[in-house]
Amino acid sequence: MRLNLKASNVSTTPSAIKELPKRFEPALFILPHLIIFSVFFIFPFFYGLVISLYDWHHFFPEQRTFIGLANYRRILFETDHIYYEYFWRGLRNTLTFVALSVPLLVAFPLFIASLINTEPRGYKLFRAIFYLPSLFSIATLVLIWRWVLNTNLGVLNLTLAHLGVGTNIAWLSSQPFAWISLVMMTVWWTIGGNMIIFTAALKDVPDMLYESADIDGANLFQKFFRITLPSIRNQLVYIFIMTTLASFNVFGQPQLATGGGPQQTTTVLMMYIRNIAFGGGRPRPGIATAMAVCMGIIMIIISIAQTRIIKRMGD
Amino acid sequence: MALKKIEQRKKRISFWILVSISVVWVMPVIWVISTSFKSEMEAVSGGLNLIPRDFTLASYRFIFTDQNNNIFRYIRNSFIAAGTHTGLYLLVASLAAYGYGILQFKGRDRIFWLLLSTMMIPAVMNLIPLYAVMIRFEWLNRLTALIVPGLGGVFGIFLLRQFNLTIPKDLIESAKIDGASHLSIYLRIILPLTKPALIVVGLFSFMGNWNDYLWPLIVINDDAVRTLPVGLAIMQGNYTIFYSRLMAATVVSIIPVLALFMASQRFFIKGITMTGIKQ
């Protein structure tokens, strides 16, 4: 019986057997990634939504109680709650950083790119110089800048003193200098990528457009706003959104350079989330996750709004 | 003729503006390098001189010989983590890019766009639950925690797939007619032809992994497996008043990425351009 079956199988469907691996071929290619993606992305995403509904201590499975939306209520509405204070102060600080840094992180590289786009002598070297800092890790960045901004020994204050202006500014421990410092080092650190994208975009703007504008007697500003900006609109949208999202994630600069000070004025949301989830004392992953979910939703809403606004401005 | 003159003038003005901004731009790095060659005494003397008065290699000698200084262990750990991650990611991503770009199967594009749309989800939402997964897998304080989760990244697949789509269909069809399997088409045709894109994706995943700070800060507590960015941040606390040594360590930390950049600058620029015109 058994032998028979086997024999008939082989004899009747040789092509089916050959086909079999073919049908699973796509799986061979996409499954390795899909499995990793599911375990380390899809699962955590939904798991995060779940644990934000729990009161949880120390990541111990047994110290976990379901409390529904109470975490969200606490951080969003209960004004006397400490986590309400952390969340809103952190959000305000993060938004301050976004508002201060994003305009510079878009405008300044665009300015540099339009200079480089004229291809002056040694433009490749300039491009490399402006890109170089983006290779550094955040720790290297802060080591460099803490030394540059050192109150008594830093090159910035020494130069200012040499020029006869400024009296030992405490760049990292007094406001508004702490914000200025954080934005300054971030601009220095990250404009490289945006600059290169802009340079490539500007190269693709047809010279013809500028030439006919010249004939019409357009000035530099008219050419910039009427020709350049509309021509690079797609890249502009992309850079605006990516830069905003990157600035939202700010963590290392204040954590390492200002320690969130003075008086927690630069303690950004990411720092509170990390401290609440993993910090010393009593880690509270549930409420920290609820904060992270709120932060994520705000980021999604803002990037959608930005796309809409910039698209509409162009029409 | 007049146009040419205007062009020349524009170039000259651009050149001088770029020179002046560049000077400001390199100053922090020059200042750091300069301090690293000064003695500790001179570093705290408050002089503005960029050329050390008493040039010394003492700080570098200290960095290389101090028993309590772990910077080379941090660098080694970073190399292991970033290198392994990059190798594995290139394998996983190029396979997937072949699946979504070359193979034909039902629901292919739907799955791919679904994957892409997940890039909208901010990473912060996954941070804490992913840590809980690491606990469950017992991956805390292991380099595995720095190597594996990032292999699920979608952006590299997207870039490689875009590149795959530019490969002439005839090439693949004729290989099929010759009886080549998909595995051999992937190995013999796609991989060699997409080499530039593979280098770009490799560079960016290496740099991303090498410079990552927040995730290693959370999952690695054991100094033996610490990677460079977190290690450096800790050294900043240990060497507080030894500015020259601290700056020597900073210079040492820059050298590996600088070497990588020098060797592959054009790929960096190509890669960033590729990501920017994605829309």
Instruction: Identify the CATH number of the domain in which residue A174 sits.
Output: 1.10.3720.10
Stated pTM of the model: 0.91
Q: The tokens 């499954």 sit on which residue? A: A31
Residues B16-59 pLDDT 10s: 999 999 999 999 999 999 999 999 989 988 888 889 998 999 99
Q: In the prediction, which pLDDT does A314 show?
A: 62
Q: Quick one: average pLDDT of A43-64?
A: 91
Q: What is the pLDDT of residue B251?
A: 95
pLDDT at A156: 93
CB contact under 8 A, A137 and B211: yes
Model pLDDT for residues B160-218, shown as the tens digit of each residue: 999 899 888 899 999 989 988 899 999 999 999 999 899 999 999 999 999 999 999 99
pLDDT at A179 over 60: yes
Q: Which of A22, A29, A189 to mutate to test the interface with B (most CBs of B within 10 A)?
A: A29
B15 touches chain A (CB under 8 A): yes
Q: Which domain holds residue A286?
A: 85-314
User: Does residue A174 belong to any structural domain of this protein?
Assistant: yes
Residue B234 lies in a domain: yes
What is the rounded distance in angstroms from the CA atom of residue A16 to the CA atom of residue B212?
49
pLDDT of residue A11: 42
Residue A154 has pLDDT above 60, yes or no: yes
Separation in Å, CA of A4 to nearest CA in chain B: 32
Gap between the Cα atoms of A182 and A12, Å rounded: 74
Q: How confident is the model at residue A2 (pLDDT cuts 50, 70, 90)?
A: very low
Chain B residues with CB-CB distance to A118 below 8 A: 7, 10-11, 14
User: Is pLDDT above 60 for A176?
Assistant: yes
Domain total of chain B: 1
Nearest-CB residue to A200 (from B100, B115, B273): B273
Residue B130 CB partners (closer than 8 Å, separation 6+): A40, A44, B149
Q: Which two tokens stand for residue B150?
A: 């990032």
Q: In this complex, do B26 and A129 lie within 8 Å of one another by their Cβ atoms?
A: yes
Beta strands A64-66 and A54-56, pairing class: antiparallel
Q: How many CB pairs under 8 A join A and B?
A: 263
B209 closest CA partner among B149, B264, B161: B149
CATH of the domain at B84: 1.10.3720.10
In a domain, B178, yes or no: no
User: Is residue B98 less than 8 Å (CB to CB) from chain A?
Assistant: yes
pLDDT tens string A89-124: 999 999 999 999 999 999 999 999 999 999 999 999
Q: Which carries the bigger pLDDT value, residue A221 or residue A160? A: A160
Given a cut of 60, whether residue A9 has pLDDT beyond it is no
Structural domain for B129, as ranges: 65-89+113-157+196-276
In 3D space, the residue among A278, A229, A284 whose CA is nearest the CA of residue A251 turns out to be A278
Position A77 pLDDT exceeds 80: yes
Question: Residue B278: is its pLDDT beyond 60?
Answer: no
In a domain, residue A76? The reply is no
Residue in B closest to A153 by C-alpha: B46
**pLDDT single digits (tens) B89-128:** 999 999 999 999 999 888 899 999 999 999 999 999 999 9
- How many whole angstroms separate alpha carbon B55 and alpha carbon A218? 56
Alpha carbons B6 and A314: distance in angstroms, whole number: 30
The confidence score (pLDDT) of residue A20 equals: 61
Between B96, B128, B277, which is nearest A277 by CB?
B128
Whether B184 contacts chain A with CB within 8 A:
no
Residue A177's pLDDT is what? 96
Whether the per-residue pLDDT at A1 is higher than 60: the answer is no
Chain A hits for B273, CB-CB cut-off 8 Å, are: 196-197, 200
What does the angle CA A132 – CA A137 – CA A139 come to, to the nearest 5 degrees? 125
CB-count burial class (<10 Å; 0-12, 13-18, 19+) for A246: middle
**pLDDT tens digits for range A205-262:** 888 888 888 888 888 888 888 888 888 988 888 899 999 999 999 999 999 999 998 9
State whether A140 and B253 contact (CB < 8 Å): yes
Mean pLDDT of B83-90: 98
In whole angstroms, what separates CA A260 from the centre of its chain? 19
Is pLDDT above 50 for A10?
no
Does a structural domain hold residue A14?
A: no
Residue at token pair 């262990």: B73
B261 located within any domain: yes
CA dihedral B206, B212, B218, B220 (to 10 degrees): 50
Compute the nearest-CA separation of A221 from chain B (Å): 15
Residues B131-169: tens digit of each pLDDT? 999 999 999 999 999 999 999 999 999 999 998 998 888
CB contact under 8 A, B122 and A249: yes
Task: Choose the closest CB to B254 out of A26, A140, A142.
Answer: A140
Count of domains forming chain A: 1
Q: Which residue has the tokens 């749309």?
A: B117
Which segments of chain A does DSSP mark as H helices, in order? 2-12, 14-23, 25-37, 43-51, 70-76, 82-116, 123-131, 138-148, 155-162, 177-203, 207-215, 220-223, 229-231, 233-248, 252-253, 269-278, 285-314
Residue B264 to chain A, least CA–CA distance (Å):
12
Residue B249 lies in a domain: yes
User: Is A147 close to B279, i.e. CB distance below 8 A?
Assistant: no
**What was the pLDDT predicted at B279?**
37
Residue A2 lies in a domain: no
CA–CA dist A294, A75 (Å, integer) = 9
Residue A24 located in a structural domain? no
AA letter at A175: Q
| Better-scored residue on pLDDT, A19 or A36 | A36
pLDDT value of residue A57: 86
